[in-house]
Chains A and B, each alone.
Chain A
Amino acid sequence: MIISSAKPFEEILEILKDEDDIFVVGCNACAAKIHVGGEPEVLEMCQRLEDAGKHVVGWVIPSAACSVASYDSLVEKNPAIKDAKTILVMACGSGVSIVAGVVDVPVYPSNDTVSLGGRTQGEVVPELCAMCGECKIYYFGSVCPKSLCPKHLLNGPCGGSVNGKCEIDSEKDCAWELICNRLEKIGRLDLLDKIWTVDEITE
């Protein structure tokens, strides 16, 4: 799923400072699952905008903001969108773009889109996939170095890790530490020996 985080409300008010008659579009896919665009968040957003003196003309939660078929499909769900002078989309960047493609008023994001990740055991896990278009994750114990390693290193770790943590973030495990642990667990440390040549990557 696409991992997004909610912008601070003050920032949203700032980007909407010259706008009014706002229609809020949520997203019942990724954004709902990580609580930045589902019904509770949309209702809260409408309330907070009203409290801040903005007029909210209505809201809708399509099954996925990135799959909105047409303007008419939004009207069908809530005709109040016809009165909108501004739309606030509570989804990822794709959702914002798709919605903007079917309406004729300014569209703003309420979220910052972070990465392609997931959610498991109650935890949001960011940066699982770099969407490089040539998946070789099975060579790395299904831990993607293109996404998790800030240097995108395929031939092994840099020398910058301290105590198994990433050079750029001491809170984060070094991707290559995770890769090695996983390959050891599945008995495939031999996969580490593969040399990735320049020809094999198109990034």
Chain B
Amino acid sequence: MSRTFKDKLTSNDFLITAEVSPPKGTDLADMLSDAELTRGWVDALNVTDNQKAIMRMSPLAVSKALLDGGHEVIMQLTCRDRNRLALQSDLLGAYSMGIRNLCIMTGDHTTKGDHPKARPVYDLDSVQLLSIIKNMHNGYDIAGNPIENPPQFVLGAVTNTDPSKKAQMMKLRKKVKTGIEFMQTQAVYDISMFESFMESIGDIEVPIIAGVIPLRSANMARFMNGNIPGINVPDEIIERMEAAEKPKEEGMAICAEAIKELQKLCRGIHLMPIGKHNNTPTILEMADIRKKQ
């Protein structure tokens, strides 16, 4: 039997996860062919939950389709769209459908997405949601009522990686205290800042999986610096992108170099390309961290 994501978390493997987006529509074919590009290259696929507060197919349905296709799945679940009844009910459904890995997050505010007038929920925050899932594992819902055949998920969370942000770092430690088994980060470009981040949490044993996003242009880097929370693309990388004749190739090279560096610092990387995974195998080959399995 092949090793699960949980088996790999508890091993010494360097882990590779990647993000896939549910479709804005009912046809799963494009998403499945995108996931197919990663087959044999990644240990698990994160399925996003109405990312950026833009309405898409439920991560529950997409996760099930990926499981049926033989992929290992990490279902993302935000606190934005569901109250505690809906969260718990979806979690029971997820487990019954075979979903075993979860990545829990607060979720971008509704005003940032394509339904800005939607009422945001935030009945629970990410720390509370992680804690209550632990209680569900022990056989109880939030109200203290027993759950038959309780689920047993592998729980993960997310974090930004600027160690100077006191409140962010404090929250990271609260998430760790809930008993999470992995943590995925926002995209890392500033390797020295990430090194300081890892030093600042040197006492934490939870596997850290560093996010990477291949750059496509210098403009994309500049845009992310001003607009995407938790991302800091250093000037020298922007200059490299500026000087490059083929910016996309340069972005892939920069990404592969980052992956090599991150391999020395943490337990894995999480690939979040803008668009499809066409270049994912090439980047992983360039980084020389894995052969197709």
Contact = CB atoms under 8 A, between A and B. Distances in A.
A162 interface: yes
Interface residues of B, number: 38
Contact of A168 (B112, B128, B142, B173): B112
B167 interface: yes
Given A150-B120, A198-B124, A155 B109 contact: no
Interface stretch (B56-64, B190-198, B222-230): B222-230
B145 to A, nearest CB: 14
Contact of A156 (B108, B124, B127, B158): B127
Contacts of B227: 162
A184 to B, nearest CB: 8
A179 B160 CA distance: 19
Interface size class of A (residues with CB under 8 A): 20 to 34
A33 interface: no
B274 interface: no
A155 B171 contact: yes
B132 interface: yes
Given A155-B174, A198-B128, A167 B226 contact: no
A176 interface: yes
Interface stretch (A1-9, A86-94, A118-126, A187-195): A187-195
Contact of A195 (B127, B142, B186): B127
A179 to B, nearest CB: 7
Given A159-B159, A160-B106, A160-B229, 10 more contacts: A151-B106, A155-B127, A157-B171, A158-B106, A167-B229, A189-B166, A193-B170, A193-B174, A196-B125, A198-B128
Of all A-B residue pairs in the complex, the 9 with the closest CB atoms, nearest first, are: A156-B171, A155-B127, A158-B106, A151-B122, A192-B170, A176-B167, A168-B111, A168-B109, A160-B229
